[in-house]
Amino acid sequence: MSNAPKNDRLLRVLRRESVDRTPVWLMRQAGRYLPEYRATRQRAGSFLAMAKNPYIACEVTLQPLARFPLDAAILFSDILTIPDAMGLELYFVDGEGPKFRHPVRDAASIAKLAVPDMETELRYVMDAVRLIRRELNDSVPLIGFSGSPWTLACYMVEGGGSKDFARIKTMALNDPAALHQLLSVNTDAVIAYLGAQRAAGAQVLQVFDTWGGVLSPEMYREFSLPYLTRIARELERGDDAQRTPLILFGKGNAPYLEELADSGAEGIGVDWLVELSEAARRTQGKVALQGNLDPAILYGSPEAIRRHVQRTLDSYATGNGTSREGHVFNLGHGMSPDMDPEHVAALVNAVHECSAR
Amino acid sequence: MSNAPKNDRLLRVLRRESVDRTPVWLMRQAGRYLPEYRATRQRAGSFLAMAKNPYIACEVTLQPLARFPLDAAILFSDILTIPDAMGLELYFVDGEGPKFRHPVRDAASIAKLAVPDMETELRYVMDAVRLIRRELNDSVPLIGFSGSPWTLACYMVEGGGSKDFARIKTMALNDPAALHQLLSVNTDAVIAYLGAQRAAGAQVLQVFDTWGGVLSPEMYREFSLPYLTRIARELERGDDAQRTPLILFGKGNAPYLEELADSGAEGIGVDWLVELSEAARRTQGKVALQGNLDPAILYGSPEAIRRHVQRTLDSYATGNGTSREGHVFNLGHGMSPDMDPEHVAALVNAVHECSAR
């Protein structure tokens, strides 16, 4: 499992080594925009059935790599596997996003939560990681991932998606100790989960803080940032030369880039609401930066896509002393089902061509 | 109509004069969280029927002022009255937000749009303004408002709310000239609309750029900011001593505060994702700042609300050389139907007590 992949651009950038061109992968690159994914899903029955079957998870993880010269694979799974394994019972209603049958809304239910056992309750994830690594055959690195403690807590308390996060913010105001308890057990679980994915063969690890950006700065610094930092500090990921890099992605994390750059993570993923030139200047080369094309650019023509890819690459370089090193190209958020695979091909090719050193 | 209101704190702050305490009003202060509002709505039948009947619009505008010592009234209306008057036909589906029966999605439909006549097609709004002014009897100032050109365009092109604004962003990429034409006619209409509200008696004017924050910096500076600036420059609002102040509110506008402060507007409204201390430092006293408590704080206990009010007031002062002048207290976004009127009372009282000079 310790073999370096032939295409090691992503690992090299995250270890701050030089590369011949900027590596690129796309959040939700395995997904409904691909006809072969839709066919597999029809066969499997549901998203959750796909994610819980290691063979199917492996199959769809590899689908985009068969089409596009992407520089990494990312495990096909859900950000909410941990609370599901804690007993909250994840389910999906078409067009409504994820929900939990047993949300936690008071200190008593939170006190009962425990870190799941990774090789029994979350074995299907580890089996998928092992299988994908075998099938990848050291071609490109495999990225494992988890939701962030705060983002998991949002779904666990709200019971699903939310417009205003009224329930969890009420808990933050009226019973902050209970919320900290929840965030603490989530953090322990995320550390164990990412550690187990690494042991199973994941070569890069990413935390998705999808909902950190709904918090005021005061609340972000109390309820999200410290737990991200604890993950970055406590997650065992090997010695320098072989280190498994950690990327902290956060929607709306632009105000906190200086703090995130000091968290101990190797990479920070940013959304499209900040200029990469500014992000690079503010993080001063302490971390690699991943991002940050507005996913909606994929709705544009191949020419428009190429122009915006060039602009994103140049923006990073402008803030990084004219150097393209230290940049992982990605979208600022996940892809959507109605996007055109031909446009993804145009994007990947544009990144490779426009960033060649 | 030119009589100054007895409570002129809001006007004084926006004209950068000193006040005895920080004025406060709340976005969506007339709304479903009030039982008397729900009773009126039941009688009227629908939100739109309320907004289009000047007597009812006047009644609900005044409801929160009968309960709380607020420092301003805001016209009860919708941000989408302009496109409705342009012929797009606004309607509401319960729980789904506003929709248009005839969205505009190509250059040909955009070319047909014209600025509505304010005293015929939007007469119900002007009548409401005149009626409210009469009923207010110069007690507190009346705020008129409009959606921003970009925000109107979002609804006009998408046909309703959107998660990813795919349609309008596709237009921005593939037919930017058509989108600029749409934004241009919207801007002309907003200027005429706010001018007519001023003529009818509105004493403060606010533009809501609800969706500017979904744009990348490059696209915000092309599709939202220039049109906000044109409104601030071209909207006639009288000479200095009697000037009708303009507030530009924008969700997600924190990255652009320097540019907004140079737009020519008298006030900038900000959401809760930026510290007021930072906003004040960055705008250097060029404009008054309005905001920015997370509306969810209203779910907390009265003690928690008071603590956060104090913190918000102090944050502004910290960034403004320890002075509380130049601050209009508000939420960072509108109120929600499930909020407790008692908590609103606690908020308003806390602002008044904690900010007394």
The mean pLDDT of A214-226, rounded to a whole number, is: 98
pLDDT of B68 > 90? The answer is yes
Q: Active-site residues of B: which are they?
A: 28, 32, 41, 78, 155
Scanning the structure block, which residue is given the tokens 């006007």? B11
pLDDT-above-90 percentage for chain B: 96
Q: What pLDDT, on a 0 to 100 scale, did the predictor assign at position A96? A: 84
- pLDDT tens profile B141-165: 999 999 999 999 999 999 999 999 9
What distance in Å separates the CA atoms of residue A128 and residue A134, rounded to the nearest whole number?
10
pLDDT of A2 > 70? The answer is no
Q: Which residue type is seen at B346?
A: A
Measure A216 CA to nearest chain B CA, in Å. Answer: 5
Closest CB to A174 among B216, B304, B332 = B304
pLDDT of B2 > 80? The answer is no
Q: ipTM score here?
A: 0.96
Cis geometry, peptide bond prior to residue A174 (ω within 30 degrees of 0): no
Query: Residue B96: which pLDDT band, with cuts at 50, 70 and 90?
Result: confident
Q: What pLDDT, on a 0 to 100 scale, did the predictor assign at position B321? A: 96
pLDDT-above-90 percentage for chain A: 96
Beta-carbon contacts of B243 under 8 Å, excluding residues fewer than 6 positions away, are B15, B237, B266
Cis geometry, peptide bond prior to residue A137 (ω within 30 degrees of 0): no
The mean pLDDT of A322-327, rounded to a whole number, is: 98
* Range from A85-99, A307-321, A325-339 carrying the lowest mean pLDDT: A85-99
- pLDDT tens profile A236-273: 999 877 899 999 999 999 999 999 999 999 999 999 99
Closest CB to B294 among A216, A275, A301 = A216
- pLDDT tens profile B99-129: 999 999 999 999 999 999 999 999 999 999 9
pLDDT of B240 > 90? The answer is no
Beta-carbon contacts of A300 under 8 Å, excluding residues fewer than 6 positions away, are A308, A343, B170, B173, B174
What integer best gives the mean pLDDT of chain B?
97
Closest CB to A296 among B166, B273, B332 = B166
Q: What pLDDT, on a 0 to 100 scale, did the predictor assign at position B43? A: 95
Q: What pLDDT, on a 0 to 100 scale, did the predictor assign at position A95? A: 79
pLDDT of B318 > 60? The answer is yes
Is residue B293 classed exposed, middle or buried when 0-12, 13-18 and 19+ CB atoms within 10 A define those classes?
Answer: buried
Are the Cβ atoms of A301 and B213 closer than 8 angstroms?
no
Q: Active-site residues of A: which are they?
A: 28, 32, 41, 78, 155
B212 DSSP 8-state letter: G
The mean pLDDT of A24-53, rounded to a whole number, is: 96
- pLDDT tens profile A53-76: 999 999 999 999 999 999 999 999
Q: What pLDDT, on a 0 to 100 scale, did the predictor assign at position B70? A: 98
What distance in Å separates the CA atoms of residue A71 and residue A203, rounded to the nearest whole number?
13
pLDDT of A284 > 70? The answer is yes
pLDDT of A355 > 70? The answer is yes
Query: Residue B179: which pLDDT band, with cuts at 50, 70 and 90?
Result: very high
Is residue B3 classed exposed, middle or buried when 0-12, 13-18 and 19+ CB atoms within 10 A define those classes?
Answer: exposed
Query: What radius of gyration do chain A's Cα atoms show?
Result: 19
pLDDT of A23 > 60? The answer is yes
pLDDT of B249 > 90? The answer is yes
Are the Cβ atoms of A296 and B164 closer than 8 angstroms?
yes
- pLDDT tens profile B46-59: 999 999 999 999 99
What is the pTM assigned to this prediction? 0.97
